[in-house]
């Protein structure tokens, strides 16, 4: 991995693994990246308890975990915290009454995509600000303002450091990932390579030393 990157965020299902647990070769590659001084962050739509049930070593394999599609962040030594208000509890009961199986996370509700029409009916009927997001055969019900990206970059209440990130069209400012600032106790200026989708988790010096 190029020294241009200090950290990398990776998805879980369909990226690290096609099953519940990554292949040993994949885990070995993650260890090599971390051993070389890079931070490896898992970013997933999974509910953390569900992830840890199938992959108990997840907390040892990564430097941080962003779960529930950006709604929950786990840090070593700090535990997990929700960074969004949970989906209204009345939706659980309404869906269960209609025979829809649901799994409650700290923020989101998860069910099967086959029930999407029933889910949309109940969300509309109750006027809830909930966003259904398909993920393969699953359906995640999220607070409308949240997705993986904001979960990665949400600032800590005690750390509002800023970082400059060049983009292809213009220089813009973004918020330093709060988990990194909280761990270091200082600002973490990020400088990412230009691309059509600026990576959320990268830092360091470019080839020109800037």
Tell me, yes or no, whether 26 lies in a domain.
Answer: yes
Q: Tokens 């059509």 map to which residue?
A: 196
Tell me, yes or no, whether 98 lies in a domain.
Answer: yes
Tell me, yes or no, whether 201 lies in a domain.
Answer: no
Tell me, yes or no, whether 202 lies in a domain.
Answer: no
CA angle in degrees (0–180, nearest 5) for 167-14-4? 35
pLDDT interval class at 5 (50, 70, 90): confident
Tell me, yes or no, whether 195 lies in a domain.
Answer: no
Q: What is the pLDDT of residues 96-125, one digit of tens each?
A: 999 999 999 999 999 999 999 999 999 999
Domain hosting 133: range is 90-143
Q: Tokens 């649901």 map to which residue?
A: 102
Within this chain, do residues 135 and 77 fall inside the same structural domain, yes or no? no
What gap in Å lies between CA 72 and CA 156, rounded to an integer? 13
86 is written with which tokens? 């949970």
Cβ atoms of 86 and 107 closer than 8 Å: yes
Cβ atoms of 91 and 122 closer than 8 Å: yes
């Amino acid at each position: 991995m190029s020294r241009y990157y200090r950290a990398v965020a990776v998805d879980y299902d369909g990226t690290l693994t096609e099953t519940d647990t990554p292949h040993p070769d994949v885990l070995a590659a993650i260890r090599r990246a971390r051993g070389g001084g890079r931070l490896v962050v898992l970013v997933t739509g999974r509910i953390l308890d569900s992830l840890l049930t199938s992959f108990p070593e997840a907390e040892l394999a990564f430097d941080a975990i962003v779960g529930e599609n950006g709604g929950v962040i786990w840090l070593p030594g700090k535990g997990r915290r929700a960074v969004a208000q949970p989906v209204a509890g009345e939706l659980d009961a309404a869906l269960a009454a209609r025979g829809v199986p649901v799994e409650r996370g700290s923020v989101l509700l998860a069910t099967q995509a086959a029930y999407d029409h029933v889910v949309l009916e109940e969300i509309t009927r109750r006027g809830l600000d909930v966003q259904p997001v398909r993920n393969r055969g699953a359906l995640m019900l999220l607070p409308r303002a949240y997705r993986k990206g904001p979960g990665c970059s949400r600032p800590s209440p005690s750390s509002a450091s800023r970082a400059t990130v060049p983009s292809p069209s213009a220089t813009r400012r973004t918020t330093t990932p709060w988990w990194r600032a909280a761990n270091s106790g200082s600002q973490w200026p990020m400088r990412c390579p230009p691309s059509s989708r600026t990576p959320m988790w990268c830092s360091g010096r470019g080839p020109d030393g800037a």
